[in-house]
Amino acid sequence: MILTDPDEKPSILVVEDDEQLQTALSHTLGGHGYAVAVVSDGYEGMDWLEHHGACLVLADINLPGKSGLDMLRDIRLAGNQVPVVVMSAYASVESAVQALKLGASEFLEKPFPAEKLEEVIARIKGGEPVLKPNCSTKIDDESEFVGFITRNERVQQTLKTLETVAVSQATILIQGESGTGKEVLARFVHRHSPRVNQPFVAVNCAALPEGLLESELFGYEKGAFTGALARRCGKFELAHQGTLLLDEIGEMTLALQAKLLRVLQEREVDRLGSRTPVKVDVRVIATTNRNLIQEVQAGRFREDVYYRLSVMPVTIPPLRERPEDIEVLVEHFAHQSFQRNCRVSAGITAEAMSYLKTRRWRGNVRELENVIERAVLLSGTGSLHMEHFAVEEPVMTSPTPSLQPTGSIWEMERDLIFRVLDQHGGNRTHAARTLGISIRTLRNKLREYRQLNGGVSLDV
């Protein structure tokens, strides 16, 4: 470990295993007046953050032990909103998109000049030329990260029910639209359970193809397939005595659902290539943005798996059905964003708040959070005004008469998907690769658009 000043709490944590780059980054940042700590892998990085904190993290993707992306995921799961800049000498669209989806602030392709690094740091910190060593990325009230912020009576009743159920071993199924806070609710259950000091492991079932998802869940033995150079424990084993979140369980194939059913029934997993099952003690929480009963009726989801998962089913209403939550969420996200960007919170005008309360929020809480983050970045050092919430309409690069540009993030996402499909002549595989999503996710998006269009073909 390298420290530019061992007596001073560092502002920047560098997670890099290349010794030459360690030294170069340490000298460069130190020469610009930043205090720096340098560690060699993600485990050391997480340990440093836990005990010392940092105002910024620079992490390589390819690290021994815990990778930079795994570290980024763990940082966010721990409720730490420290800005993270991800670096890689083997940059790709897919890795960049994955890093940004996990909450990275920037993606830097190696090698990069010192000026580029300084530019990125200044941009993250709102243009300030020097980071302040005492800048904190922790929210004062840590409970805000682990609770579920709401004034809605229906949601509050759900929280009370889950607080009671959390002490049991019951499997929980959380249903709700994308962006409503299903994962936050899952962490709420974990924090109120006897497993609170054990691992919380999340798996996005929509982000991985079937073969990779199976090895991620159940693990594999050395030599189980080409490229399996060593034994790897799956997510069920990593979550032993803790909680496993199966995010978007409705995307799981029927074949994999059958294997999941055995784990839920027998409480043991079979690693790929192994003849000996491994016992696991895991509390399973599943989330979905689909109506699983309808999926069962359509033959796309196993009925026996549904009943195994829905011992305690709950549904989070969309944000448009709980408008009383908008004000408190705006204040919460604004406070987080101002503090994350090392600025004094200057509040929001009454006019801007009234405007936010009138929006439909098809992307729900996630869309609201992104809008507030953008407004804070645009506001400089002042309060949030109406002009900070203006959204530029995207320019259509190809004619798509039925799709009009709007200010909704959901509609902007839809328009982007159709534009990319058009650019690739309707080839879904190439379009999915460009978008940085799986072909299964793309198919699901297109099916969603057809359903909202009244079942009318959209020529895709």
pLDDT in tens, 30-67: 777 778 888 888 888 888 888 888 888 998 888 887 88
Confirm whether 143-315 and 319-389 share one CATH topology: no
Q: What is the pLDDT of residue 301?
A: 94
Top CATH class of 2-124 equals alpha beta
pLDDT in tens, 111-156: 777 777 777 777 666 543 333 333 333 333 333 334 688 999 999 9
Burial of 453 (0-12, 13-18, 19+ CB in 10 A): exposed
**3-state class (DSSP) for residue 435:** helix
Domains of the chain, by residue range, sit at 2-124, 143-315, 319-389
Q: What is the pLDDT of residue 143?
A: 33
Backbone angles phi, psi at 245, to 5 degrees: -100, 120
Amino acid at 185: L
Where helices occur in 125-248 by DSSP H, the ranges are 143-146, 153-165, 182-191, 210-218, 235-238
DSSP element (H, E) containing 328: helix 324-340
CA distance linking residue 454 with residue 211, whole number of Å? 34
pLDDT in tens, 405-445: 354 566 777 878 888 888 777 888 878 777 767 777 888 88
pLDDT of the chain along its 460 residues, tens only?
555 444 454 578 899 888 888 888 888 887 777 788 888 888 888 888 888 888 889 988 888 878 888 888 888 877 777 888 888 876 555 666 677 777 777 778 777 777 777 777 776 665 433 333 333 333 333 333 346 889 999 999 999 999 889 988 899 999 999 999 999 999 999 988 998 888 899 999 988 887 788 888 988 888 777 777 787 888 998 889 999 999 999 999 999 999 999 999 999 998 888 888 889 999 999 999 999 999 999 999 999 999 999 999 999 999 999 999 999 999 888 888 887 777 766 788 999 899 899 888 989 999 999 899 888 888 876 788 888 887 544 444 444 333 333 545 667 778 788 888 887 778 888 787 777 677 778 888 888 777 666 544 455 4
- Token reading at 65: 């032990």
- List the strands of the sheet with 283-288, edge to edge: 200-204, 243-247, 283-288, 172-175, 312-315
Question: Between β-strands 36-39 and 2-3, what pairing exists: parallel, antiparallel or unpaired?
Answer: antiparallel
DSSP line for 109-122: ESS--HHHHHHHHH
CATH fold label, 319-389 = Helicase, Ruva Protein; domain 3 (1.10.8)
Per CATH, the number for 143-315 is: 3.40.50.300
pTM of the model: 0.56
